């Protein structure tokens, strides 16, 4: 019997590729840039499995053009780049990689939080430009992290991991989520707030929800208006959750002291985007899960999901478990 064919849309860690090669013929998109949509459309017509990245738009048109496709395995926890409804309609399970990247992503949210609070990126840019301001009582003063109030929007795995780290900084932690989690409130000493009150009471606000169309621009001008003067906003979730014009207003008007983003809409951010002119904005190119070890683990989980799907077995981490209940 012929081996199934799988297409991996970016070079991933070698052990993961070896694992897949034991059961399938593997083709890999070798470039640093994601494959363009027309390449994806062409490839999917003759593959049995796909191992995708969050930069690959898998639209209904693409999924409906993949007659042999048995499984989509995404190497990310988020999957808003994939039309899940279209995949489910076709009975195609979609894998993802939750869990392994939780702590690494929480570490990075904290890196941004602290860098924004203490103006690390801005100070570093100055020194690299040859500007070492002499020590002065009000040179590059920021805001204290310890003892401040942290508001976490989206209290899943990553949100909770961020909260856990706040204990060491003696912070008060508030959270908002569609579901209250009384066990976590007990364990972590966090308090539930509705969104408005969370925005009004927090010194730092960090986003940790999935992106879905109903959360488009969840954080809009009205939200920024409600925040404390001098608050700091952090987004390591998805760019589409935030109205960036409203964010620009909040930063330019000094309503916010600073913001730090690891995600944007669109990615990459256009080079001439006005936000890039603002010294109190830190922006990184979607790297929150990017530790070498975590990326290795993500690749292996994606490989396991892919192999299970090719064999017609249940995926260990499935974004659309409803495919199994039809
Ligand atoms: C990263 O954004 C992910 O969804 O894994
Ligand atoms: C700062 O370096 C201090 O000694 O206060």
pLDDT in tens, 64-108: 999 999 999 999 999 999 999 999 999 999 999 999 999 999 999
CA of 135 to the centre of ligand 1 (A): 40
Q: Evaluate: CB of 77 within 6 angstroms of ligand 1.
A: yes
For residue 238, indicate whether it is catalytic. yes
Segment 246-250 shows an average pLDDT of 98
pLDDT in tens, 31-65: 999 999 999 999 999 999 999 999 999 999 999 99
Domains of the chain plus CATH, in order, are: 5-100+292-325 (3.40.50.720), 102-283 (3.40.50.720)
230 Rama class: left (phi>0) / alpha (psi -120 to 50) / beta:
left
Nearest to 228 by CA among 206, 197, 188: 197
Q: Annotate 171-191 with b (16+ C-beta within 10 A) or e (fewer).
A: bbbbbbbeeebeebeeebebe
For residue 267, indicate whether it is catalytic. yes
- Closest residue by Cα to atom 5, ligand 1, is 76
User: CA torsion 212→174→286→101, rounded to 10°?
Assistant: -90
pTM of the model: 0.96
CB 5 within 8 A of CB 28: no
The mean of the pLDDT values for the chain is 97
Our mutation pick for probing the ligand 1 site, out of 73, 77, 290, counting the most ligand atoms within 8 A of Cβ, is: 77
**152 pLDDT more than 90:** yes
pLDDT in tens, 110-123: 999 999 999 999 99
Segment 207-226 shows an average pLDDT of 97
CA of 125 to the centre of ligand 2 (A): 21
Segment 116-131 shows an average pLDDT of 98
pLDDT of 2: 87
Residue 326 — pLDDT band, cuts 50, 70, 90?
Answer: low
**325 pLDDT more than 90:** no
Q: With H, G, I as helix, E, B as strand and everything else as coil, classify residue 139.
A: coil
Our mutation pick for probing the ligand 1 site, out of 12, 53, 54, 103, counting the most ligand atoms within 8 A of Cβ, is: 54
The set of residues, in sequence order, having a beta carbon less than 8 Å from that of 207 and lying 6+ positions away, is 153, 154, 218, 219, 234, 235, 236, 237, 241, 242
Q: Evaluate: CB of 76 within 6 angstroms of ligand 1.
A: yes
CA of 304 to the centre of ligand 1 (A): 18
CA of 137, nearest ligand number = 2
- Closest residue by Cα to atom 1, ligand 1, is 76
């Amino acid at each position: 019997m012929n081996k199934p064919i799988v297409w991996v849309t970016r070079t991933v860690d070698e052990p993961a590729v070896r694992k897949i090669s034991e059961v399938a013929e593997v083709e890999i998109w070798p470039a640093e840039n994601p494959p363009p949509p027309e390449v994806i459309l062409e490839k999917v017509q003759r593959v049995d499995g796909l191992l995708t990245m969050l930069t690959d738009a898998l639209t209904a048109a693409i999924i409906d053009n993949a007659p042999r496709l048995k499984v989509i395995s995404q190497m990310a926890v988020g999957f808003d780049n994939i039309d899940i409804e279209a995949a489910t309609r076709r009975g195609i399970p979609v894998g993802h990689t939750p869990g392994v990247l939780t702590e690494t992503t929480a570490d990075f949210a904290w890196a941004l939080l602290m860098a924004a609070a203490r103006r690390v990126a801005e100070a570093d840019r100055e020194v690299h430009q040859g500007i070492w301001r002499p020590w002065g009582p009000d040179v590059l003063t920021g805001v204290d992290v310890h003892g401040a109030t942290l508001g976490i929007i989206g209290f899943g795995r990553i949100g909770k991991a961020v909260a856990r780290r706040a204990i060491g900084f003696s912070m008060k932690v508030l959270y908002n989520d569609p579901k209250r989690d009384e066990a976590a409130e007990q364990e972590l000493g966090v308090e539930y707030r509705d969104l408005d009150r969370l925005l009004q009471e927090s010194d730092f606000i960090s986003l940790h929800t999935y992106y879905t169309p109903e959360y488009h621009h969840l954080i809009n001008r009205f939200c920024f208006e409600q925040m404390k003067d001098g608050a700091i906003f952090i987004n390591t979730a998805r760019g589409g959750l935030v109205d960036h014009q409203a964010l620009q207003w909040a930063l330019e008007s000094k309503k916010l002291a600073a913001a730090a983003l690891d995600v944007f809409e669109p990615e990459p951010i256009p080079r001439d985007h006005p936000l890039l002119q603002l010294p109190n904005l830190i922006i990184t190119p979607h790297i929150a899960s990017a530790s070498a070890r975590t990326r290795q683990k993500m690749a292996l989980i994606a490989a396991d999901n892919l192999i299970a799907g090719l064999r017609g077995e249940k995926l260990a981490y499935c974004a659309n478990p409803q495919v199994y209940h039809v």
